[in-house]
């Protein structure tokens, strides 16, 4: 089962990807994890990626694709995987389709978790992160026991810059411009599956399981 998660920042695709990975016993693969693993292991691809990241630049498409395609050859991915955060652009999607086709493989489903921008801005504005241990909360959905304090270590909770409304709006603009076209791409490929991401996360997961038919 080869899956791709689509959805705007804050739509919950990372959470759903982890749940899918656990249920179907396939790896949850994110580009961030791939970068970190390759850099930690000192691989040639990892060192190339690090040079761009250290300079504050974006890792070029060609290198991202090489890293992802390499990750898909690992033993744990032989029965499938769920890709989270890749592809982000049409060129990345086309390169992935081509790389899989060369091995006689293809993506089984691209799952789009659909959440309106307004919901995402409200949702992310409610997030709080611990300054000490990094634990995350939500003032409505997962509130801490003591307001403004981490349950785990008692340190202060903050609204990260990434979650501030003006930052979220900018991230959504980038998403609509670069990543939204992927929805049309995978629709044309006949593998797009859409779920309502505004409902409870367990209901979202149940809808995905129904789509996957297992």
Give the pLDDT of residue 162: 81
Residue 192 lies in a domain: yes
Distance CA 18, CA 22 (A): 6
Read off the pLDDT band of 193 (50, 70, 90).
Answer: very high
Residue 160 falls in the annotated catalytic set: yes
What does the pLDDT look like over 63-95, one tens digit per residue? 889 899 999 999 999 999 999 989 988 999 999
Token pair for residue 68?
């992802």
152-166 pLDDT tens trace: 999 999 998 888 888
Does the pLDDT value for residue 106 go beyond 90?
yes
Q: Each residue of 22-75: pLDDT tens digit? A: 999 999 998 888 888 888 999 888 898 888 888 777 788 888 898 999 999 999
Give CA–CA dist 133/56, Å, rounded.
25
Annotated active-site residue 71? The verdict is: no
Residue 187 is assigned to a structural domain of this protein: yes
Candidates 71, 123, 127, 128; catalytic one: 127
Catalytic residue among 23, 78, 152, 160: 160
Q: How confident is the model at residue 14 (pLDDT cuts 50, 70, 90)?
A: confident
pLDDT at 213: 84
Q: Is the dihedral of CA 20, 25, 30, 31 positive or negative?
A: negative
**Six-digit token string for 212:** 């996957």
Instruction: Please determine, for residue 143, whether its predicted confidence score (pLDDT) is greater than 90.
Output: yes
Is 127 annotated in the active site? yes
Range 97-122 average pLDDT:
94
Q: Which of 18, 50, 149, 171 is catalytic?
A: 171
The residue count of the chain comes to 214
Instruction: Report the domain count for the chain.
Output: 1
pLDDT at position 214 is 64
Percentage of the chain surpassing pLDDT 70? 100
Q: Residue 71 and residue 200: Cα distance in Å, rounded?
A: 32
Which of 88, 149, 164, 187 is flagged as catalytic?
A: 88
**Contact 123/168 with Cβ under 8 angstroms?**
no
Domain hosting residue 197, numbered range: 2-27+74-116+166-212
Indicate whether 132 belongs to any domain.
no
Report yes or no: 155 and 144 within 8 Å, Cβ to Cβ. Answer: no
Residue 145 domain-assigned (yes or no): no
Question: Domain for residue 56, yes or no?
Answer: no
Locate 119 and state its tokens. Answer: 């919901």
**What are the Cα distances from residue 77, in Å, to 11, 71, 99?**
25, 8, 15
Query: Choosing from 13, 48, 123, 193, which is the catalytic residue?
Result: 13
Residue 198 lies in a domain: yes
CATH number for the domain spanning 105: value is 3.40.50.300
Q: Per residue in 108-119, pLDDT tens? A: 999 999 999 999
């Amino acid at each position: 089962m080869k899956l791709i998660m689509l959805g705007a920042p804050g739509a919950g695709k990372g959470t759903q990807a982890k749940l899918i990975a656990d249920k179907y016993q396939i790896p949850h693969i994110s580009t961030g994890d791939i970068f970190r693993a390759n850099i930690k292991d000192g691989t040639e691809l990892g060192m190339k990626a690090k040079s761009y990241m250290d300079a504050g630049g974006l890792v070029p498409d060609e290198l991202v694709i090489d890293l992802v395609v390499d990750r898909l050859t690992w033993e744990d991915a032989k029965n499938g995987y769920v890709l989270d955060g890749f592809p982000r652009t049409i060129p990345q999607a086309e390169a992935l389709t081509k790389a899989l086709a060369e091995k006689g493989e293809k993506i089984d489903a691209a799952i789009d978790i659909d959440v309106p921008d307004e919901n995402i801005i409200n949702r992310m504005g409610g997030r709080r992160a611990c300054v000490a241990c990094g634990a995350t909360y939500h003032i409505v959905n997962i509130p801490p026991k003591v307001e403004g304090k981490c349950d785990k270590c008692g340190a202060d909770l903050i609204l990260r810059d990434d979650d501030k409304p003006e930052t979220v709006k900018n991230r959504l603009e980038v998403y609509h411009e670069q990543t939204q076209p992927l929805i049309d791409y995978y629709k044309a490929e006949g593998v797009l599956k859409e779920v309502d991401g505004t409902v409870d996360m367990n209901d979202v997961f149940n809808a995905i399981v129904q789509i996957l038919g297992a």
